[in-house]
Structure 1
Amino acid sequence: MKLLVRNLERATTEQDIRVLFSTYGKVTECNLVLDQETGLSKGFAFVEMPDENEAKAAVEALNLSTLAKSKIRVKYAQN
């Protein structure tokens, strides 16, 4: 399942996100969206978790949780 993670602190890295979501299961892909001009984070990312139950657990646990002083929002990405 593809998840959308929003409201990330600009200094958050793909590795930070991968580690956080790996607590809930296997992460096959993690893409932090970067600004093409500056190379800085745009504040959101996509995380791919193949197991639906693990993805659901991650959404329930991490939505509105705090990561690097930002309250993140996690939901299912639209295809």
Structure 2
Amino acid sequence: MKILVRNLERSITEAELLALFEPYGEVTSCALVLDQVTGKSKGFGFVEMADPRQAVQAIKGLNTLKVKGIGIRVKAAEDK
């Protein structure tokens, strides 16, 4: 299940994002969205988890959690 993580502090790394989700289960991919010009984070990213039930638990557990002083927003990603 693919998860959208928004409102991330711009200095957060992919390793830090991964560390937030790993306690909930197997993470199959983790990626921050970067600005093509500057190479810096745009403040959001995607995490994919193998087990949908664990993904739902991660969403419930991490949505509104303060990371580096900012409350993050976590929800299931929508297919476009």
Matched, 1:63 2:74: no
- Give the AA of the match of 1:7: N
State the TM-score, normalizing by the size of structure 2: 0.96
Matched, 1:24 2:37: no
Query: For the residues of structure 1 that align with 2:74 and 2:46, how far apart are their CA atoms?
Result: 10
RMSD of aligned residue pairs (Cα, Å): 0.5
Query: For the residues of structure 2 that align with 1:52 and 1:46, how far apart are their CA atoms?
Result: 15
Equivalence for 1:50: 50
Query: For the residues of structure 1 that align with 2:7 and 2:33, how far apart are their CA atoms?
Result: 12
CA shift, 1:50, in A, is 1.2
Q: How many residues align?
A: 79
Query: For the residues of structure 2 that align with 1:69 and 1:37, how far apart are their CA atoms?
Result: 27
Q: Deviations over 1:15-62 (max 9, x none)?
A: 000011001111000010000111110000000001011101000000
Secondary structure at 1:23's aligned position in 2?
A: helix
Could you tell me which runs of 5 or more consecutive residues in structure 1 were left unpaired when the two chains were aligned: none
More displaced stretch, 61-70 vs 1-10: 61-70
- Give the AA of the match of 2:4: L
Identity in percent: 54
Query: For the residues of structure 2 that align with 1:62 and 1:28, how far apart are their CA atoms?
Result: 18
Secondary structure at 2:27's aligned position in 1?
A: coil
Matched, 1:11 2:1: no
Kindly report structure 1 stretches of 4+ aligned residues shifted beyond 2 Å. none
